[in-house]
Chains A and B, each alone.
Chain A
């Protein structure tokens, strides 16, 4: 499952960063996940404890900040939150693929001790 590899990649970065800063334990992992990141937050939550087991993040909380999609319309130079996946501009009707937000799949921060 895709979400497992995403969490594995996140955990690699997390454990590496935590150790580099002398942390013994990761308590909280905060991720930003865009509406169009191609991953399901619930599946990330499901995968997290499985991947964290046996690492310094075992028992940690995964916190996900959902980032809604935001588009830019080049035709009328306005920003909008799309209502569906076509991204039609509500102002002028133009179709756009200019995404300002929504693709985020980021590790934001850790709480460690």
Chain B
């Protein structure tokens, strides 16, 4: 609406700027008007994050050439991303070789925890950036021996807003939520949930204590992102993890 008007006005302005003074309709006064009269338009029409998208495509091509299955794991802070990764890598050891890139605002605690499972883990300290981007992932993965891996797991910064806009070159985007976060979580973060290939409902071991309304939560997830595979698990007890492992192994086999 308003945008359309601005657009056509701008078009007029540009053509006039070539020859005579443009008629600026925004009520700019004489001095401003004179300066604006010499203005011209540069049409760009480019995605603001196109540089990231290109780098992500580069990552994707590299990871595929190495026959890697790449996962981008996102959630709110504390939903259990690190615990989920630790458990997964420990349990699939011997069947899948995993490597991890972990984004954290300040510490390298998560990388240390994951390293204890025996998998190589590279920490990206993001400082005040609230998401990982494709360039950070490219730099971090350069430190891993990708030829020695089947699965590359990227633990994003705990945040359900910002990471949604940044493609990292992953095959699967995995959105985790825990039973303590409320059944309406998917409704509060639609942009992120809409992009999920897999949704993990974690901390099922405390679902009862948390008063988790499972039916409502699953229905919200399904209505928000009908195509996603959903797994209800506990990274602590291992409950429900077997189904996730068969899914993971099947997808990884598709890459080999």
Contacts and interface: CB of A to CB of B under 8 A. Distances in A.
Contacts of A55: none
Interface string A1-34: 1100110011011100110010100011011100
Given A2-B165, A38-B165, A112-B39, A95 B49 contact: no
A110 B223 contact: no
Interface residues of A, number: 40
Contacts of A28: 39
Interface in B26-57: 35-36, 38-52
Contacts of B41: 109-112
A66 interface: yes
B25 interface: no
B12 interface: no
Interface string B154-165: 000000011011
B42 A23 contact: yes
A112 B38 CA distance: 8
A1 B105 CA distance: 12
B165 A105 contact: yes
B207 interface: no
B39 A17 contact: no
Contacts of A21: 42
B163 to A, nearest CB: 9
Nearest to A104: B47
Interface of A: 1-2, 5-6, 9-10, 12-14, 17-18, 21, 23, 27-28, 30-32, 36-39, 63, 65-66, 85-86, 88, 95, 97, 99, 105-113
Given A2-B130, A85-B194, A107-B47, 10 more contacts: A6-B48, A9-B48, A9-B51, A36-B190, A37-B165, A63-B6, A97-B194, A97-B227, A107-B45, A109-B41
